[in-house]
C-alpha cells in the first residue's frame, strides 16, 4: 500500500479520491485550506470516514498558493508516515465569464491556483521521490484544453498550462523512477463545487458591454448538463475509481493519460494522436530516454 497526498480534497473529485483510496487500504493525506475553520466540516467528515476503513485517512492543511504551506504539508506527511509515494495534483478553481472582462490579476490568480500551485507541491514533494527513485505523480487535468467551450477562457488556459507542465515534468522525473499519469475528466456539472463555487470577472464595466451575450453565459451550467443522455450525468466517483485503478497497476504499466468522459466528446482520440506526435518529435530531438521510466 502507498502513502498518498491529495490536494484540493475538501470536496468533489479530491474528497471522493481520498475516500476511495483509504477504502483500498492506502495511507491517505487529504489536504485542503483551513481544515479547522472554513473546511472544518469537510475535514471532520473525511476523518470519520477514515476511521471505518482499512487504510488511514488523515487531513492536513495545504494552500497550493503558498510554497511554505506546501513544504509544511509534505514535511508532515514524511515525518508522520515515514515517506511519500504518490502525489495527486487535484486542486483547482473555475472562472466563468467574458475573457476581456477578467483583469490581468484575475487571470494571474487562476493560473497561480490551477498551474503554479501544482508546481509548488511538486517542489515540496519531488526531492523525497527523487531520493528514493520511485513514486507516482497523478495530475487531475481536464478534457477542456481540447474541447475549449466558450465563456470559460481563463479556466481553459490554466488547465492547458497544467497539462503542459505535467508533460514536461514527466520527461525529467521519469529518469528518477517517477511515473506520471494525467487523468482527464470530461465535463462534470454535478457532484463538485466547480460551477456553484465559480468566480466571475472583476471588470464589471467590460462585462456590461458584453451584456447581449448574458443569456448564453447564464446557461453555461445547463449546457454542460445537456451533454448527457436524459437521466444520466457524469459521476465524479468515476474519476476517483480510475485513479485507484491506475495506482493498482504495476510499476511501469501505468498509462501516461487516461480520459474519463461520460460526455464522449472524442478527446481520447485527439490526445492519443497528439501524444504520438509529441513522442516522435522528442525522439527526433535525441531525447528518447526521457519517454521511458528509468528503473
Just list the catalytic residues: 155
What are the DSSP calls for 80-112, one per residue? HHS---EEEE-----EEB-GGGS-HHHHHHHHI
CB burial of 40-66 (b: ≥16 within 10 Å; e: otherwise) equals eebbeebeebbeebebbbbbbbbbbee
Q: Which long-range contacts (CB under 8 A, 24 or more apart) does 154-157 make?
A: 154/95, 154/99, 154/102, 154/106, 154/107, 154/110, 154/111, 155/94, 155/95, 155/96, 155/110, 155/114, 157/107, 157/110, 157/111
For residue 98 the three cell numbers come to: 467574458
Q: Nearest to residue 62, comparing CAs of 6, 16, 4, 140? A: 6
Q: How far apart are CA 254 and CA 91, in angstroms?
A: 22
Q: How far apart are CA 155 and CA 132, in angstroms?
A: 35
Amino acid at each position: 500500500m502507498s502513502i498518498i497526498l491529495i490536494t484540493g480534497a475538501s470536496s468533489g473529485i479530491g474528497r471522493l479520491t481520498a475516500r476511495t483510496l483509504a477504502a483500498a487500504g492506502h495511507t491517505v493525506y487529504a489536504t485542503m485550506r483551513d481544515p479547522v475553520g472554513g473546511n472544518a466540516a469537510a475535514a471532520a467528515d473525511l476523518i470519520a470516514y477514515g476511521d471505518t476503513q482499512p487504510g488511514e485517512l488523515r487531513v492536513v492543511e495545504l494552500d497550493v498558493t503558498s510554497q511554505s504551506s506546501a513544504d509544511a504539508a509534505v514535511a508532515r506527511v514524511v515525518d508522520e508516515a515515514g515517506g511519500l509515494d504518490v502525489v495527486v495534483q487535484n486542486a483547482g478553481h473555475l472562472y466563468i465569464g467574458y475573457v476581456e472582462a477578467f483583469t490581468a490579476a484575475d487571470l494571474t490568480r487562476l493560473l497561480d491556483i490551477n498551474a503554479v500551485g501544482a508546481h509548488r507541491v511538486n517542489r515540496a514533494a519531488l526531492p523525497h521521490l527523487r531520493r528514493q527513485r520511485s513514486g507516482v505523480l497523478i495530475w487531475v487535468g481536464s478534457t477542456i484544453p481540447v474541447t475549449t467551450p466558450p465563456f470559460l477562457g481563463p479556466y481553459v488556459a490554466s488547465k492547458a498550462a497544467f497539462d503542459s507542465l505535467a508533460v514536461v515534468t514527466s520527461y525529467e522525473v521519469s529518469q528518477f523512477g517517477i511515473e506520471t499519469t494525467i487523468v482527464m475528466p470530461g465535463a462534470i456539472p454535478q457532484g463538485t463545487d466547480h460551477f456553484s463555487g465559480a468566480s466571475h470577472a472583476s471588470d464589471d464595466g467590460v462585462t456590461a458591454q458584453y451584456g447581449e451575450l448574458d443569456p448564453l453565459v447564464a446557461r453555461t451550467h445547463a449546457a454542460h448538463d445537456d451533454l448527457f443522455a436524459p437521466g444520466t450525468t457524469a459521476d465524479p466517483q468515476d474519476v476517483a475509481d480510475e485513479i485507484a485503478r491506475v495506482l493498482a497497476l504495476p510499476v511501469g504499466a501505468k498509462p501516461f493519460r487516461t480520459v474519463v468522459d461520460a460526455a464522449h466528446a472524442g478527446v481520447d482520440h485527439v490526445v492519443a494522436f497528439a501524444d504520438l506526435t509529441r513522442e516522435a518529435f522528442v525522439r527526433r530531438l535525441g531525447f528518447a530516454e526521457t519517454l521511458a521510466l528509468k528503473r
